[in-house]
Each structure stands twice: as structure tokens, then as C-alpha cells.
Amino acid sequence: DVQLQASGGGLVQPGGSLTLSCAASGFLFDDYAIGWFRQAPGKEREGVSCISSKGGNTYYRDSVKGRFTVSRDNAKTTAYLHMNSLKPEDTAKYYCTTDHLLVVCGSDWSEPSEFEYWGQGTLVTVSS
């Protein structure tokens, strides 16, 4: 079974940093793109970042460009989301996701419907 385990969330002050990890198992990790999404209370799930199967292409939503960096270590079957200069509006539950049809991040990478498999999420709270 495909499993995605996101971790690394927590409480951080504005301007602080966190690194989220997504440990994957049950599929050929280096064959598929990985997406990161987030969902704040009362809001729709939104795409944050996407990285292609070999890590050569990365994508970000505009509001996190220059602050967040996505990466992956295919040998460890783990993806990462490095988050710097965090803002209160970054507060949300963060999810990693993948789909067996996605080797690269398509033009609709930020749409939740593009991805089939989801982890349980990890909560990030940015507050003073």
C-alpha cells in the first residue's frame, strides 16, 4: 500500500523556520512527483509546492516563492519542504501527496484532484 507520512510541524514564531518531511513507502518513490498542499481551518486545500520525480523541476504558489524550498532524497524515499520567514497566514495542516500517473508536475499541479494518494498531514502554527 502507498503510504505517505508527513512530520515536522509545530508552533513557530513569525519569521521562524520549519522543515517538513514526507516519508514514503509502498511505491517506486523516484518514479513519481510529490506535491505539498495545505489546508487552513475553514478554507479549501491549496497547492504549496511540487517536485518532479528526479527533483529537476520544482513549482511553488506565489505566496511562498522565495521563502519555501522543496527537495527530495530518493535514496531515503523522503521529500522535504523547507519553510523560512514563516507568516501567520502560513498556519495550516500540511499534506504531502503523490499520484501514480505523475512523473512530472503538470500545469494543474496545484489542484488537489490531480493527486490520488495523501498522507495524514502535519500541523504548522505560526504565532507569537
The closest of 95, 108, 122 to 37, measured between CA atoms, is: 95
Interacting residues of 79 by C-beta distance below 8 A, sequence separation 6+: 21, 22, 24, 34, 36, 51, 70, 71, 72, 73, 96
Burial of residue 46 (CB within 10 Å: 0-12, 13-18, 19+) is: middle
Instruction: Please give the chain's pLDDT, 128 residues, in tens.
Output: 999 999 999 999 999 999 999 999 999 999 999 999 999 999 999 999 999 999 999 999 999 999 999 999 999 999 999 999 999 999 999 999 999 888 889 889 999 999 999 989 999 999 99
